[in-house]
Amino acid sequence: MLRSMYSGISGMKNFQVKLDVIGNNIANVNTYGFKKGRTTFKDLVSQQIAGATAPGTDRGGVNARQVGLGSQIASIDTVQTQGSLQTTGRPLDLGISGDGFFIVGTGTATAPNMNFTRAGNFYLDKDGTLVNSDGLFVVGYPSTGGVVNTSQFGKIKIPTDAKSFSIGANGVVNYVDGTGGLLQAGQIMLAKFPNNEGLEKIGQNLYKNSANSGPAPTAVGDLVIPGEEGAGSIVSSALEMSNVDLSEEFTEMIVAQRGFQANTRIITTSDEILQELVNLKR
């Protein structure tokens, strides 16, 4: 009976974590570029009451007798499936159709501290530099003399006197200068990882690489041109929505709630039986 109580406790703890993950998913149902979480369980060690025996000449084999001791968290996954693209009509809103992450950073342009995101709601600061909502500059190839310079990392800066600009599917930022000439302000590049689910969430719609995701870009050659080498293309005037499915989350919430209730019933039932044993001696 004590085993059943502790099994019930382990189940309650696991379903509490599952509900925490579900709550975070629902809270971010309208967060651009958000990737939902998923909780999986596995059983704990089983106590062996009797071992298995092999069959003999006059008697068949007997299976082992084991009692499980509860469950535990197997994984909390980040499901990196594509979210739907919503058209916004704003030229600085960018979505990725396919694999890859925008690179944003702080520090110097040639040695940025890089983080990664799928949220492409970008802005221009007073100098014309392309940044995200927290002021982190977008990392890519800068422009030299109106032509993309592929020899170094850099900020992407649109001249403040540009008449208009556009961003292509390959990430090239074109602008029309004061004389009507078409020039390049830079090229937005993407980062790809062998294991996207190994990236760590650090808040503000950002990820960082981990020991199991693969390395972050450290050289210019590590950047990926959108639409090449398996990376997705950039869709201008659109944003990637969260991949959270509310109907699925509410269903999982009901399952977690009932599982939690069932495990509390295990504890109360075991307690009632223990009470009966105590009452044997009056």
**55 within domain boundaries:** no
Do 221 and 249 lie in a common domain?
Answer: no
Q: Are the beta carbons of 191 and 100 closer than 8 angstroms? A: yes
- Are 139 and 189 in contact, with CB atoms under 8 Å apart? yes
Q: Which residue has the higher pLDDT, 22 or 110?
A: 22
| Residues 153 and 262 occupy one common structural domain | no
Beta strands, E only, 92-167: 94-97, 101-107, 112-117, 123-124, 130-131, 137-144, 147-148, 154-155, 164-167
Q: Predicted confidence band at 279 (pLDDT cuts at 50, 70, 90)?
A: confident
- 110 has a pLDDT exceeding 80: no
Residues 20 and 120 in one domain: no
Are 158 and 235 within one domain? yes
Is 127 inside any structural domain?
yes
Query: Residue 172's closest CA among 186, 160, 158?
Result: 186
Average pLDDT in the chain: 91
Q: Is the pLDDT of residue 281 over 90?
A: no
- pLDDT at residue 113, rounded to an integer: 84
Cβ proximity of 83 and 110 under 8 Å? no
Within a domain: residue 72?
A: yes
Asked if pLDDT for residue 136 goes beyond 80, the answer is: yes
β 190-191/182-188 pair status: unpaired
Lowest mean pLDDT among 107-121, 127-141, 200-214: 107-121
Per-residue confidence band for 108, with pLDDT thresholds at 50, 70 and 90: low
**109 and 235 share one domain:** yes
Q: What is the mean pLDDT of residues 202-212?
A: 93
How far is residue 159's CA from residue 164's CA, in Å, rounded to a whole number?
A: 10
Write out the residue range of the structural domain in which residue 270 sits: 2-49+62-80+244-278
Residues 121, 233, single domain; the answer is yes
Q: Residues 229, 89: one domain?
A: yes
Q: Tell whether 137 is covered by a domain.
A: yes
pLDDT at 92 exceeding the cut of 80: yes
Residue 224 lies in a domain: yes
**Judgement on whether residues 154 and 75 belong to the same structural domain of the protein:** no
Quick check: is 262 in a domain?
A: yes
Name the DSSP letter for residue 197: G
Question: pTM here?
Answer: 0.87
- Give the CA angle between residues 103, 105, 106 to the nearest 5°: 170
In the predicted model, what is the mean pLDDT of residues 117-134?
93
Q: 252 and 159: one domain? A: no
Domain count across the chain: 2
Tell me: pLDDT of 107 over 80. Answer: no
Over residues 263-270, the mean pLDDT reads: 92
Give 244: exposed, middle or buried? Use CB within 10 Å, 0-12, 13-18, 19+: buried
Classify residue 57: in a domain, yes or no: no
Q: For residue 274, is pLDDT > 90?
A: no
- Say if residue 106 is in the same domain as residue 19: no
Is residue 113 located within the same domain as residue 185?
yes
Is the same domain home to 206 and 187? yes
